[in-house]
Structure 1
Amino acid sequence: MPDPRSEAAVPQSDRGGRRLAPAAAVLLAVTAALAGPGAGGSAAADTPETAPAAAVSCPSVKMRMAIPTRAPLLDWSENLGFDGGGNVWIARSLRNVVERFDRDGHVVTSVPVTSPGAVRIGPDGLLYVTFGNSPIAGAARRGGVLRFDPSADSPQPEVFVSGLGQANGAVFDGDGNLYVADTGSNTVVRIHRDGTIDTDWTERARTALAAQGPGADGIVVAGNTLYVTLLESPTGRVVALPIDDPGRASVAVDLAAAPLSTPLLPDDLAIAAGGLLYIATGTGQFVRADPLTHTSCLLTTDQPITSVTISPTDASTFILGTEGGDVLLAHLLAS
């Protein structure tokens, strides 16, 4: 079994050889400051025609630094997530570690993980982290998922599943199945609660995604539908993948109005009340999209963004990870 605890590698969204923070109390304080004044059958045949994303109204956004990088690029914040206690954990790809921060922005817990990707709380209260999120690990099938008790004084990670490719984004469905986006193989891997892989489902997803574009990356769930970003799509595509029939993939939204125009490199994403998607892009745009109307709008433009999650203390505030390592807060202002 591969040891996911120490390999330096370029993160998955490195496009040219380069490639939180506070606990809930800090996020609440910062949020308060921000709010104050101042588809079936063959995938190729059944892909529906979908209009490119049209401009729709977006609210104004107020940006704020949550945690500045300690070392630009070396602190690359690939992903972030919260444990059951509201503590935020940051995946630092180039440091090969997942870190928990205290309310003063200091690291209080570090768990070694090789090329970490998604950080997700599981139905059992454990924290699940994808590892091997690099092209090198993906090619060697050294990706997988580990898990640990985030409340432990010294968390001891154990491998939940191994032998995957470039394990990147992840999400649990309502039944406790885990879905992992394998960027290198351009598929979504379905993993049962006992750690076994649903190979038939996974292969059907692979075939369907091949007709949509390359680079399965971020993934969220809404009922029976998975939404998957395609990092390398020339139109910044997000795909809808039905859980009960993964062969019927369809276009949820194309973020770019024309091929190779920004926003591009859709990475991680979050889903909010009402089913709206909030998408981080490697070209620096933070985008909101409606997968039902196939439209999107630009919330803000900043440095290249790797990840996004919703604050547990304020549904109008999003925490963003970046390639440079900064962790940002984006607060949606009332219109």
Structure 2
Amino acid sequence: MVVTSGLAGPAAADAPATPVAASCSADRPVHTVLPTRAPLVDWSENLGVDGAGNLWVSRVYRNAVEKYDSNGQLVTSVPVTSPGAVRLGPDGLLYVTFGNSPFTGLTSQGGVVRFDPAASTPQPEVFISGLGQANGAAFDGDGNLYVADTSANSVERIRPDGSIDAAWTDSARTALSANGSGADGVVVAGRTLYVTLLESQTARVVALPIDDPARATVAVDLSPATLTPPLLPDDLAIGADGLLYIATGTGQLVRADPAAHTSCVLLSGEPLTSVVLSPTDNSVLILGTEFGDVLKTHITY
């Protein structure tokens, strides 16, 4: 999510709107992994981990993706325009969405770059261009890359050769439009793609079957439509328990069960942008923030 100022039909209507429970954990400690150097300027839009276990942070307002080692030391900075998601590809390269801004969405200047994370000076190359506000991203088991276009409220399916699966993408766009707006975070679990709708009145997460996106359903509504302001679901991850862990722009880390359509708040604090599992301990979640800090917290499975 980037702030500048401030299935279809029947399945969406029949899904239960489940308010967020008050809490599913009391006094959960949160630790700062990387303190912000300049509040907001350091906005940590997204997080990724490479094959060697290094943490990569998208600094959307710095137009850079930064690599940190296990000691929290900044190793290198790769220039990327308004970067979003950072995802390790099946080929060992890092794929980063770029053009994550509303203006880019209007001018179709978004896309994806890729580079070798092990290089001493990584050289990003364009994997695909001509997208809108390229934001969240995830790979499936077949090597297809899914990119959320927030401005178009769509998810683009990009084949391993860099071409767009237009039929799949059109079907997904129609299904998402029936459920809300602001497609933002995406994550793959088996043959299902979960998509957060940042601008939904109920903070909705949609389940898109990879094999038939037209049969989309509501995975969970994180908050009732009467909640003002609503939660702002941003990036998300799959835990070792198979549940969804969702960062919200209103400052909550939410755990959701898409099968039971239920959710609860793990912690509340500064506005969150992203979440990733620690490469060394899947009971640790690393969190990106709008303020620029990178945080961590432990969860119990």
Cα distance in 1, alignment partners of residues 22 and 101 from structure 2: 35
Cα distance in 1, alignment partners of residues 94 and 248 from structure 2: 25
Judged with a 3 Å threshold, the aligned counterparts in structure 2 of structure 1 residues 149 and 233 are, in CA distance, closer, same or farther, namely same
Name the residue aligned to 1:58: 24
**TM-score, normalization by structure 1:** 0.86
CA offset at residue 46 of structure 1?
Answer: 4.1
1:120-135 pair list within 5 angstroms: 120-135=87-102
The superposition leaves residues 14-64 of structure 1 with CA deviations (integer Å, 9 ceiling, x where unpaired) of 0625xxxxxxxxxxxxxxxxxxxxx4xxx2244351222253872442211
Name the residue aligned to 1:32: none
Name the residue aligned to 2:221: 254
The one-letter code sitting in structure 1 at the alignment partner of 2:12 is T
Cα distance in 2, alignment partners of residues 104 and 225 from structure 1: 35
1:311-326 pair list within 5 angstroms: 311-326=278-293
Name the residue aligned to 1:83: 50
Cα distance in 1, alignment partners of residues 181 and 118 from structure 2: 37
CA offset at residue 195 of structure 1?
Answer: 0.3
The superposition leaves residues 47-83 of structure 1 with CA deviations (integer Å, 9 ceiling, x where unpaired) of 3512222538724422111111000000000001000
- Of residues 213, 231, 235 in structure 1, which corresponds to 2:202? 235
- Of residues 86, 96, 103 in structure 1, which corresponds to 2:63? 96
Cα distance in 2, alignment partners of residues 305 and 156 from structure 1: 29
CA offset at residue 234 of structure 1?
Answer: 1.0
3-state SS of the aligned residue for 2:281? coil
Name the residue aligned to 1:190: 157
Q: 1:16 aligned to 2:17?
A: no
Name the residue aligned to 1:207: 174
Q: 1:306 aligned to 2:273?
A: yes
The one-letter code sitting in structure 1 at the alignment partner of 2:81 is T
Across the two proteins, how many residue pairs are aligned to each other? 299
Q: 1:44 aligned to 2:9?
A: yes
Identity, % of aligned pairs?
Answer: 66
Name the residue aligned to 2:126: 159
After TM superposition, the runs of 4+ consecutive aligned structure 1 residues lying more than 6 A away are none
Cα contact 1:59–1:333 (8 A) shared by 2: no
Cα distance in 2, alignment partners of residues 183 and 333 from structure 1: 32
Cα distance in 2, alignment partners of residues 287 and 264 from structure 1: 10
CA offset at residue 257 of structure 1?
Answer: 2.9
- Of residues 273, 289, 292 in structure 1, which corresponds to 2:240? 273
Cα contact 2:135–2:147 (8 A) shared by 1: yes
Judged with a 3 Å threshold, the aligned counterparts in structure 2 of structure 1 residues 283 and 159 are, in CA distance, closer, same or farther, namely same
Q: CA RMSD in A?
A: 1.5
Name the residue aligned to 1:146: 113
CA offset at residue 268 of structure 1?
Answer: 0.3
Cα distance in 2, alignment partners of residues 130 and 111 from structure 1: 13
3-state SS of the aligned residue for 1:174? coil
CA offset at residue 314 of structure 1?
Answer: 1.1
3-state SS of the aligned residue for 2:29? strand
Cα distance in 1, alignment partners of residues 247 and 18 from structure 2: 16
The superposition leaves residues 227-264 of structure 1 with CA deviations (integer Å, 9 ceiling, x where unpaired) of 00000011110000011111111110000034344651
Cα distance in 2, alignment partners of residues 45 and 257 from structure 1: 19
Cα contact 1:56–1:296 (8 A) shared by 2: no
Q: Unpaired segments of 5 or more residues in structure 1?
A: 1-11, 18-38
CA offset at residue 137 of structure 1?
Answer: 0.8
Name the residue aligned to 2:142: 175
**TM-score, normalization by structure 2:** 0.95
Cα distance in 2, alignment partners of residues 226 and 48 from structure 1: 20
3-state SS of the aligned residue for 1:274? coil
| Range moving further from structure 2, 262-271 or 247-256 | 262-271
The one-letter code sitting in structure 2 at the alignment partner of 1:205 is A
